[in-house]
Amino acid sequence: MPSRYGQHVMRSPLASNMQVYTKHLALHLKTVKI
């Protein structure tokens, strides 16, 4: 999964990359909160 995520980030443009990263981070924070 990590490698696949990295590939997606590399392929996506910077703007999309930021969105994906923010979404991933928010999801991680949510999981930690719960």
User: Would you kindly state where each structural domain of the chain is located, as residue ranges?
Assistant: 2-33
SS3 content of the chain, % helix, strand, coil (to 5): 90, 0, 10
To the nearest 10 degrees (0 to 180), the angle between helices 2-11 and 14-33 is 150
> Tokens for 15?
């703007």
Predicted model pTM: 0.41
At residue 20, the pLDDT reads: 83
21 contacts: CB under 8 Å, gap ≥ 6: 9
Pick from 4, 7, 15: which is nearest to 23 by CA?
A: 15
For residue range 2-33, what is the model confidence (pLDDT) as tens digits? Answer: 556 555 555 556 667 778 888 888 888 888 76
